[in-house]
């Protein structure tokens, strides 16, 4: 069943995407929520053009996790890209879904990468550290249903 195969590929990719549980790393920061949204839009423009590796590259300087973990996730994403495209077709763009803020320190941005046959959710969580906003975690996967849970 193709959706199970896609779900497996994306689930393993999402599992490797960093979660903030590893050794901390120095991260560049963004000054405002406007800059956070601009970065996420740039990342999604790359993802929506099928350039997942470039999307990860844009996030890298702002990652709050060990860079080795982040680069491992980037390598896995690069490897999985061709298999994902075989199942859902090429990327054809992206769409912003919503922004959710919890308190003053956490901001979640949700997007979809549009492909020829399926939407791939991407979710970014930014943390407002004393120095500014940085990427706490992000994921992409096949659970489109989660976009409707409110």
Determine, yes or no, domain membership for 65. Answer: yes
Domain of residue 113: give its range: 2-143
Residue 125 lies in a domain: yes
Dump pLDDT digits (tens) for 14-71. 444 444 433 445 679 999 999 999 999 999 999 999 888 889 889 989 988 777 777 7
Torsion angle of the four alpha carbons 116, 141, 147, 68, in this order, in degrees rounded to the nearest 10? -130
Residue 7's pLDDT is 55
CATH code of the domain covering residue 103: 3.10.450
Cβ–Cβ < 8 Å for 59, 74: no
Is 149 contained in some domain?
A: no
Residue 150 domain flag:
no
Residue 56: both structure tokens together: 């990860």
The CA-to-CA distance between both ends of the chain, in Å, stands at 28
**Domain contains 54:** yes
Contact 31, 83 (CB under 8 A): no
Asked if residue 148 belongs to a domain, the reply is no
pTM to 2 decimal places: 0.80
| Number of domains the chain contains | 1
Q: What is the pLDDT of residue 6?
A: 57
Q: Where are the beta strands (DSSP E) in 6-131?
A: 91-102, 106-115, 119-129
Angle at 19 (CA atoms; ends 49, 39), nearest 5 degrees: 40
Q: Is residue 98 part of a domain?
A: yes
Please check whether residue 16 lies inside any domain of the structure.
Answer: yes
**pLDDT bucket at 84, cuts 50 / 70 / 90:** confident
When pLDDT is averaged across residues 130-148 and rounded to a whole number, the result is: 89
């Amino acid at each position: 069943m193709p959706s199970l195969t896609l779900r497996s590929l994306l689930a393993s990719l999402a599992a490797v995407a960093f979660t903030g549980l590893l050794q901390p790393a120095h991260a560049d920061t963004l000054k405002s929520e406007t800059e956070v949204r601009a970065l996420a839009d740039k990342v999604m423009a790359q993802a929506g053009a099928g350039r997942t590796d470039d999307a990860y590259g844009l996030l890298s300087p702002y990652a709050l996790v060990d860079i080795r973990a982040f680069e491992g996730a980037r390598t896995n994403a690069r490897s999985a890209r061709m298999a994902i495209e075989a199942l859902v077709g090429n990327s054809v763009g992206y769409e912003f879904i919503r922004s959710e803020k919890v308190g003053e320190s956490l901001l979640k941005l949700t997007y979809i990468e549009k492909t020829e046959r399926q939407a791939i959710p991407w979710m970014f969580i930014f943390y407002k550290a004393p120095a500014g906003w940085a990427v706490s975690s992000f994921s992409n996967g096949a659970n489109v249903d989660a976009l409707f849970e409110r």
